[in-house]
Structure 1
Amino acid sequence: MRIIRASDCRVMPWKNGGGTTTEIAAHPPGASLDAFDWRISMAHVGADGPFSSFPGIDRTLSVLTGNGIALAFGDGETVRLERSSAPYPFPADRPVEGQLVNGPIDDLNVMTRRGRWQHRVERLTGPGPIELAVHGGLLMLSARSDGWTIAANEGLESLGTGDNAILEPGEAVTLASDHDDAEIFAIELWEGAAP
């Protein structure tokens, strides 16, 4: 298990220059925005505008803070995402504009290169215990509130807001929190094309 603290994540500009994003992890390490196989990041969205286009990438968006965002796709479809919404997957090369719902938001973005990697995102809530095991690929846990503990073979780790843990195949952990409404995201990543 590898811990990535919030203070160790790097802040960088959006691909389209419209804001900033906090990169949590990417593969291969140090890959540019045009060359990653997978990437996990958080963005602060303070104004309406177009999403950056990532050709050949699939993305899942989750609202972390704020009142939500409406996605207006180029083909006319609209989707409204709020804090209570399930993580929403869509192709990152599909033209889309974001329209804020009464103020700025922070969101979690998970992106994988189509045909090479796939992903699944789930929002989990406390207090637990929640038992998780990694059978193949990777599992990242991204804490959205303080007070999470992870019990693993190597001992106990604590996660605060914005902290993350990456688990490798064969690892198993038990999550628990001291808050009933504590929130953490479980992000599964695995190699291979869709069946």
Structure 2
Amino acid sequence: MKRLSASDYKRMSWKNGKGETVEIAVFPPGASMDVFEWRISMASVANDGAFSLFPEIDRTLSILSGHGMSLTIDAAAPVLLTMDSDPLRFAADVPVDATLVEGAITDLNVMTRRGRFAPSVERRAGSFSVRGCERGETVYVLATDPVTVTSAGETVKLEAMDCVLVEEDASVTAENIVCYEIRFQEAAQRSTER
């Protein structure tokens, strides 16, 4: 189990220059916005506006704080996304306009290159256990509040927005908290398992 501290996350400007994103993890390590295979980030959104476009990328978006926002994706009917909503997956290379419900929000943004990695983002609440990764899979758990997690006899204290990388053949157990379980599986690996 590897802890990633929120204080160490990388900060950078949005692609459209209208805000700032906080990069939690990216693959390959150190990859730029143009060549990443997958990426986990957070952003504070203080104003209504259009999302940046990312060719051949899919997004999965969750609300970490605030009253939520309404998304108009590719001119479809607006979708309301709040802290209680399931993570929402949509194409990042179509027009998306966001309207805040009532003030600024912080979101969790998981992006994957289409056809290379299949993402799974799940909101977990209360007491739960997350199993370790399988072959061709990478698993992270993001804590929204301070929590102590245990894995294979090891105990790690996480602060709000810290993350852990769950190692192979391990499991993470947490109690009385909302966390996000984020999995990436290589698309080629998924197709061979069917």
Q: Same fold (TM over 0.5)?
A: yes
Report deviation, 1:3.
1.1
Report deviation, 1:131.
4.4
| SS of alignment partner, residue 115 of structure 1 | coil
Tell me what 2:160 maps to. 161
Quick one: distance in 1 between partners of 2:153 and 2:35? Answer: 34
Q: Deviations over 1:6-30 (max 9, x none)?
A: 0110111001111001000001111
Quick one: distance in 2 between partners of 1:129 and 1:118? Answer: 23
Tell me what 2:84 maps to. 84
Report deviation, 1:129.
4.4
Tell me what 2:170 maps to. 172
Give the TM-score, by structure 1 length: 0.91
Residue type matched to 1:60 in 2? T
Deviates more, 1:87-96 or 1:133-142: 133-142
Report deviation, 1:77.
2.6
Q: Deviations over 1:111-135 (max 9, x none)?
A: 0000111100001112x24242322
Deviates more, 1:77-86 or 1:129-138: 129-138
Give the direction of change, closer, same or farther, for the CA distance of 1:189–1:131 in structure 2 (3 Å limit): closer
Q: Deviations over 1:34-87 (max 9, x none)?
A: 110000000000000000111000110000111110001233331110110000
Quick one: distance in 2 between partners of 1:85 and 1:183? Answer: 12
Tell me what 2:64 maps to. 64
Moved over 4 A (4+): none
Quick one: distance in 1 between partners of 2:132 and 2:39? Answer: 21
Number of residue-to-residue matches in the alignment: 189
Tell me what 1:74 maps to. 74
Give the TM-score, by structure 2 length: 0.92
Q: What RMSD, in angstroms, separates the aligned Cα atoms of the two structures? A: 1.5
Residue type matched to 2:121 in 1? V
